[in-house]
Amino acid sequence: MLTALGSGFRALGRNWGLVVLVLLANLGFALLLAVPLSLQLEGDLANRSASSGMMYDFDYDWWAAWSERQRGPSSALAPDVLGTGFAFRNLELLLTGWLPAGLFARGDRASLDPTILGLGTLYLLLQVFLTGGLLGVFRAPQGGWTVRGLVHGSGFYFGRILRVSLLALAAAGVVFAANAPFARWVDGLAREAVSEKTAIALALGRHALLLLALVLVHMVSSYAKVLVVCEERLSALLAFLSSLGFCARNFLAALGQYVVVLALGVALLFLFGALDARLAVVGWKSQIVALVLSQLFVAARVALRLGLLASQVELQQARGR
C-alpha cells in the first residue's frame, strides 16, 4: 500500500501540470461567484465606515444587517469561512446530504443557495469528465500528457466513467437512506445518555460512521473507474462489481490509502490554520500572500486527490491480476 502510494505520488509529481490544470478549473468555477460578490461588497461598503472595520477585522454589526438582506450565493458569506471553520462547514454540508445538489438532504438546518449547489454539480461533472483522461495519464508508466490528449482520453471514457459515477451516487443514496433511521436511533440513545460525554461520543461516532461509509463508496467507485480505464472495461456495472471484489480482497491496502491521504489532509488543514492565524490580512500585499497561501492549500488538496487516484492505479496494476 505504501509502495503504491509512493509510486502514485511520484507519478503525479512527474505530471504536476495536472494539479495546476485542475486548480485552474477549480479557481475558475469559484471566481464565477466570488467576483460578483467582490463587486457587490465594494458597492455595499462604499462610503461606509464598516469598510475600514471589514478591512482590518470583521464588523459584526455591518455583516449581520447585510447578511439578512442577502438572497442568493452572497448569503453564504459568514464568519465560519474564517480559520478552519470552512472545513467543518463543508464537511457538515457533505454529511447532511447537501452534496451534490442537495440530493440527499432531509430538510436539515444547513442549506446552500441553489446557485452554489448548481455550480458544485457542474464542477463534479467536469471532474467526472476529466477522470478518464487523468487515469489514462497515470496508466502510462512514462507519464507525460498534453491537454489535447487529456481531453481526448476524458471524452473517450466519459460515458462509462459517468455511469460509474451515477452508480456511486445511487450507492451514496442508499447510504444516506440507511443512515437516516440509524442517526435517529443513535440520537435517541444520545438524548437518553446519562453523561454528555456519552452523548458526544455517540453523535460524533455516527457522523464518523457516515463519513466512513461515504469513503467506502468512493473507494469502490474510484477503483471501478480505474478498472474502466486500465482494463478497458465496457460495462460500468460490471466494473463496479469487480471493484467491490477488488476492494474486498485488498481491503486494508485500499482503505489504508485513504487513511494516509486523509491524515495528510488533516495535517494540511492544521498547517493552514496555524499560518492563517498569524497572517493579518489588510492591504494588497497581505491579501496577495493570503491568496497565494489559499491557492497553495487548494493545490495541495487537489494533489492529494490526484495522488490518491494515481496510487489506486498503481495498487490495481500491482494486485489486480
Partner 1 sequence: MGPRTAGLLLAGLAGVVLASTGAPAAAPRHVAPPLPPVAGKDAPGLPPLPEVSPRNASYTIEARLDPEKRTIAGSLVLEWRNTSEQALSTFPFHLYWNAFRNNLSTTARGAGHRAPGDREREDRTFGWIQVKTVRLVGGAEGGGTIQDLTPTVRYLNEDGNADDRTVMAVRTSRPVAPGETARFRIEWDSLVPHGSIGRAGWVHDYHFVAQWFPKIGVFWKGAWNCHPFYPWTEFFSDYGVYDVKLTLPKGFVVGATGRLESKADNPDGTETFRFVQEDVHDFAWTASRRFLERRSRFDEPGYPPVDVRLLLQPEHAHLAERYLEATRIALRTYGTWSAPYPYPQVTVVDPAWGSSSGGMEYPTLFTGGASVFAPPELQSPEGVTIHEAGHQFWQGLVASNEAEEAWLDEGFTTYMEAKASDHSLGPAGWGRRYFGGAGRGGRAGWPVVAPGVAIPRGSESLVDLREGGESDAMAKRAWTYRDEGSYSLNSYAKPALVMQTLEGLLGEETMVKVLRTYSRRFRFAHPTTEDLIATVNEVSGQDWRWFFEETFFSADLCDYAVEVRSDPARTPAGWLEGEGGRLELKAPERKGRRGDGNRFESRVTVVRHGEVLLPVEVRVDFADGRTVTERWDGRDRWTRFRYEGAKVVHAIVDPRRRIAIDVDPSNNEWTSDERPARRAATKWAGRYLFWLQNLLELHTVVG
Helices (H), 78-146: 85-95, 114-139
Give me the least distance between CB of 200 and partner 1, in Å please: 6
When binding is defined by CB under 8 A, the residue of 77, 151, 216, 260 that contacts partner 1 is: 77
Neighbours of 214 (CB within 10 A): 19
Give me the least distance between CB of 47 and partner 1, in Å please: 5
Q: Closer to partner 1 by CB, 141 or 321: give it.
A: 141
When binding is defined by CB under 8 A, the residue of 2, 24, 65, 234 that contacts partner 1 is: 65
What residues from 121 to 140 belong to the interface with partner 1 (CB under 8 A)? 121, 123-124, 127-128
When binding is defined by CB under 8 A, the residue of 3, 88, 114, 235 that contacts partner 1 is: 88
Give me the least distance between CB of 218 and partner 1, in Å please: 6
Map 200-231 to HEC letters: HHHHHHHHHHHHHHHHHHHHHHHHHHHHHHHC
When binding is defined by CB under 8 A, the residue of 70, 72, 75, 94 that contacts partner 1 is: 94
Give me the least distance between CB of 133 and partner 1, in Å please: 15
When binding is defined by CB under 8 A, the residue of 218, 255, 318, 320 that contacts partner 1 is: 218
Cell 482494463 locates to: 231
What residues from 149 to 168 belong to the interface with partner 1 (CB under 8 A)? 165-166, 168
Contacts 24+ apart (CB under 8 A), 165-171: 165/124, 165/128, 165/221, 165/225, 166/236, 167/221, 167/224, 167/236, 167/237, 167/240, 168/217, 168/218, 168/220, 168/221, 168/224, 168/240, 169/100, 169/103, 171/217, 171/220, 171/221
Cis previous bond, 100, omega within 30: yes
When binding is defined by CB under 8 A, the residue of 70, 84, 111, 317 that contacts partner 1 is: 84
Query: For residues 315 and 35, is the Cβ–Cβ distance under 8 A?
Result: no
Q: Closer to partner 1 by CB, 234 or 271: give it.
A: 271
What residues from 33 to 62 belong to the interface with partner 1 (CB under 8 A)? 33-35, 37-42, 45-52, 54-55, 57-62
Neighbours of 206 (CB within 10 A): 20
Does 81 help bind partner 1 (rule: CB under 8 A)? yes
Q: Closer to partner 1 by CB, 230 or 261: give it.
A: 261
Give me the least distance between CB of 189 and partner 1, in Å please: 8
What residues from 268 to 287 belong to the interface with partner 1 (CB under 8 A)? 271, 274-284, 286-287
Cα(143)–Cα(136) distance, integer angstroms? 9
Give me the least distance between CB of 321 and partner 1, in Å please: 28
Burial grade of 47 (CB within 10 A; 0-12, 13-18, 19 or more): exposed
